[in-house]
Structure 1
Amino acid sequence: MAELRVEGPDLVLALGPLERVGSFRGRDLRVPLSAVRRVRVPISPWIALRGWRSAGIAVPGWVAMGTRRHGEGWDFTLVRRSGPAVVIELNGYRFDELVVSVADAPATGARLAAAAGIAFDPTPDRGPLGPA
């Protein structure tokens, strides 16, 4: 399973072998923490997905890995089944959002927000549609 970790001034999305193949990405994703604008926990990871699959694999309700194209730009997703996920909104980076399935979304979100120096609200939201 992919891992979100903080390494110095960067947020690293470390991909396992299956994530590398499924997302068509050969290396880990490294984002400066200064680019993190907001971290949120969606009520469902599937509601948080935007646009359509560009590169990677997607089976609705089962898995969405890779790059997604939408009207405002690009997102990167690693979503599995119905488990919890975090959405990391970015400024000034090639992806607008990272949507990643994690075991403990509120704790992961709080840890990432603290590392980026931003506030975190653990209340699940409905993604781009507004608060729950």
Structure 2
Amino acid sequence: MSYSLVFTRLEIPADDELALRWVKNKFQAHYDDERAPHSIFQRLHDALVDRFPCLSTLPEHERDDAVWVDGPLINNFSHDLAIVAFHFTRVEDVMPFVVETALKVGCTVFDLQGMNVYRPKHDSRN
């Protein structure tokens, strides 16, 4: 079982309920987007895999203990949206770091399972 978080660098509705609907409507565009990840997402990705190595970089015998459910993790990052999934058993130690790191680089974080929206304190999107 996994837990997923979605990130965007784009402006979103101020109301959380509208923002959650907004992001759900962006999924298909995310999967169709062939552009390279935005530099904000590249920084986020690099910080995440620095702390929790990408599944695709781990030796076979360490993959069962990996945080991420798939890899290469960078494949989950498009130009405007990113989606990461980690094992549910690791939520307590992974989620706070992921949310904090995303906010630091200027991303909004959507927790669709918890129905929460975490916004950066200042708009540093590019």
Fold match, TM over 0.5?
Answer: no
Higher relative contact order (CA 8 A, sep 6+): 2
TM-score by length of 1: 0.28
Q: Which has the higher strand share?
A: 1
User: Looking at CA atoms only, which structure, 1 or 2, has the larger radius of gyration?
Assistant: 2
